[in-house]
Amino acid sequence: MPFASLGLRPTIAKAVAEAGYTTPTPIQSKAIPTILEHRDLIGVAQTGTGKTAAFVLPMLEMLGGRGADQSPRALIVAPTRELVVQIAENLRAYAKHLHVRSVMVYGGVGEQPQIASLRRGVDIIIATPGRLQDLMNQGHVRLNRIEILVLDEADRMLDMGFLPSIKKIVEKVPTDRQTLLFSATLSREIEQIASAFLRNPVMVEVASRLKPAETISQFVHEVSHEQKQELLHEILRDRTLSSVLIFSRTKHGADRIARRLEAEGHITATIHSNRSQAQRTRALESFKAGRVRVLVATDIAARGIDVDGISHVINFDFPHIPEDYVHRIGRTGRAQASGEAISFVTPEDYANLRRVESMVGRRIERKALEGFVIRPAMKRASIDPRAGRPSYGRPAQTGARSAYGSRPAAGASRPPAGAAARGTFSTAKPKRRFSR
């Protein structure tokens, strides 16, 4: 099914084709026609499935050209600066043949350029809740003409404590708006927000946050705290690990890992909340361009990093929350491409590992590297006894890398939806008032 068949005007379909995409992903095929019918919508899809384009494309179709008074007509709210930037980049690419203006509004940078852009007039605002509320309180943003409101990564915004800000923002938006809510899961809290903010929404579910993409190979190394850094260095000696995202639990831990890797000769950058926006932007751009092979991050980067070809994700610190595990490893294996996720697990992490395995419904394969074997007194029954170096080389691609968020080869078509389209959020769903 080509994009034009979804009801998008030729100029938008042309921009999509020029970006290298030919076939909609399952979330796009299901969401775009519904949004074009001006229905409220709840979209549930895991990372890497193309949900940004699922709301950006129909938004552009419905907005068309500029409004007469240049008041903002659409508002997209996202939890992190990185995600705001990613959405804005997608929007600019797909609106290249349209007269649509947009502005990014987020903290960590000076507000004056954002205020100046707002004064010149925009059609679409892409914002984090905190900075947007600040500018609203100062009288620089008026939302009384908003026609379309998008709450992206709603579950993450709840996790980050943004619900009070979101409520304040929604109070200033017209009640007759169209509201689109996208989330990786449909928790009770998300259902409560949907009941408060949306009117008779249509539910669109494609795969689940609780299930990592099937194209991601997952491995565990059981290791002591003292050997983590040495094990990391040993694994990174394999140069086929071409683009590596490493997760640390803390900001100081991320800086410590990066300093050690730099000292060992690895070109490294870091992203966490103590870094300025300019530093974070430079780090991400260098990583995207391949000038930096290794990016060390805290969970702030688990959503919003849209980088082609991340070959490996390494959990230097195993996450405490099972859902965070799926978000982290979802940075690789995007858009039907293959990827590998490697996790370092200490004895203190065994309970968290069991919870992750229970959530994903499978046992994660254990690998052992010669010289890095946990002490016999600790649990080790699950360690693969085969000695020697496990291969972490870049895996072969399983299909054209062509969903939104990953750039495909020229002329490539997206492979069949497959398991992602057949996936469901739960096999035993509670009764909901949402239409399907």
Q: What is the pLDDT of residue 65?
A: 58
Q: What is the pLDDT of residue 66?
A: 54
**How confident is the model over 354-362, as a mean pLDDT?**
89
CATH superfamily of 216-366: P-loop containing nucleotide triphosphate hydrolases (3.40.50.300)
Q: What is the pLDDT of residue 391?
A: 52
**Domain layout of the chain by residue ranges:** 3-206, 216-366
Residue 386 burial (CB count, 10 A): 9
Domain 3-206 shares a fold with domain 216-366: yes
What Rg value do the Cα atoms of the chain yield, rounded? Answer: 22
Is the pLDDT assigned to residue 177 strictly greater than 50?
yes
Is the pLDDT assigned to residue 309 strictly greater than 80?
yes
DSSP 8-state symbol, 412: -
pLDDT in tens, 127-167: 999 999 999 999 999 999 999 999 999 988 888 889 999 99
Average pLDDT of the chain, as a whole number? 82
Q: How many helices (H) and strands (E) does the chain have?
A: 15, 14
Per the CB < 8 A criterion, the answer to whether 236 and 244 are in contact is yes
Per the CB < 8 A criterion, the answer to whether 312 and 341 are in contact is yes
Which is more confident, 161 or 75? 75
Q: How confident is the model at residue 198 (pLDDT cuts 50, 70, 90)?
A: very high
Six-digit token pair at 27? 């979330």
DSSP 8-state symbol, 103: E
The CATH number of the domain covering residues in 3-206: 3.40.50.300
Which is more confident, 223 or 334? 223
The pTM (predicted TM-score) of the whole model is: 0.66
**Alpha-carbon distance 400 to 415, whole Å?**
6
Q: What is the pLDDT of residue 197?
A: 95
Query: Over pLDDT 90: what percentage of the chain?
Result: 52
Which is more confident, 407 or 53? 53
Is the pLDDT assigned to residue 427 strictly greater than 70?
no
> 79-93, 293-307, 413-427: which has the minimum mean pLDDT?
413-427
**Alpha-carbon distance 165 to 167, whole Å?**
5
Q: How confident is the model at residue 335 (pLDDT cuts 50, 70, 90)?
A: low
Which is more confident, 308 or 117? 117
pLDDT in tens, 368-415: 887 786 654 444 444 443 434 455 554 433 333 322 233 333 333 333
Q: What is the pLDDT of residue 213?
A: 73
